[in-house]
Amino acid sequence: MKISVLVNEGPYQHQSADTAIQFTKAVLAKGHEIFRVFFYHDGVNNGTRYAVPPQDDRNITEQWTEMAKEHNLDLVICIAAAQRRGILDENEAKRQGKEGHNMADGFRISGLGQLIEAGIQSDRMVIFGD
């Protein structure tokens, strides 16, 4: 089965981000395909490389990055939601005249068309958060 995941909540404000990670791991462990993970609304905060949780806490961004490397996941952050929250990749930072970018490895910025494509190409779209 081909599944896409939509994450609408930030990594430390709500349980949704943790649940999305655990769900994605379980789907992959069962041999299913993750077509795309799309981060929208506050969910884009999962993709910032500047989050530094305490050493005894989980690092959700790092978990997504590692899973993306291991399973070749497509982690897409909504460009409009990201810009509103100050999350920029290198190209967008240059385009906006900003000095640096803060997108974590393994994530990429794109538009809502990627979310629509994920819904069309997948057998199921599972949504985490409001």
56-68 pLDDT, tens digit each: 889 999 999 999 9
The answer to whether residue 18 is catalytic is no
Q: Is 96 exposed, middle or buried (0-12, 13-18, 19+ CB in 10 A)?
A: exposed
Of 51, 63, 52, 53, give the one whose Cα is nearest residue 17: 63
Spans of all domains in the chain: 2-128
pLDDT tens-digit readout, 22-69: 999 999 999 999 999 999 999 999 999 998 888 888 999 999 999 999
Arithmetic mean of pLDDT over the chain: 95
pLDDT of residue 130: 87
pTM (two decimals):
0.95
Catalytic residue among 37, 77, 78, 82: 78
Q: What is the architecture, at CATH level 2, of domain 2-128?
A: 3-Layer(aba) Sandwich (3.40)
Cβ–Cβ under 8 Å, residues 130 and 73: no
For 79-89, the pLDDT digits (tens) are 999 999 999 99
Which residue type, as a one-letter code, is found at position 38?
A: F
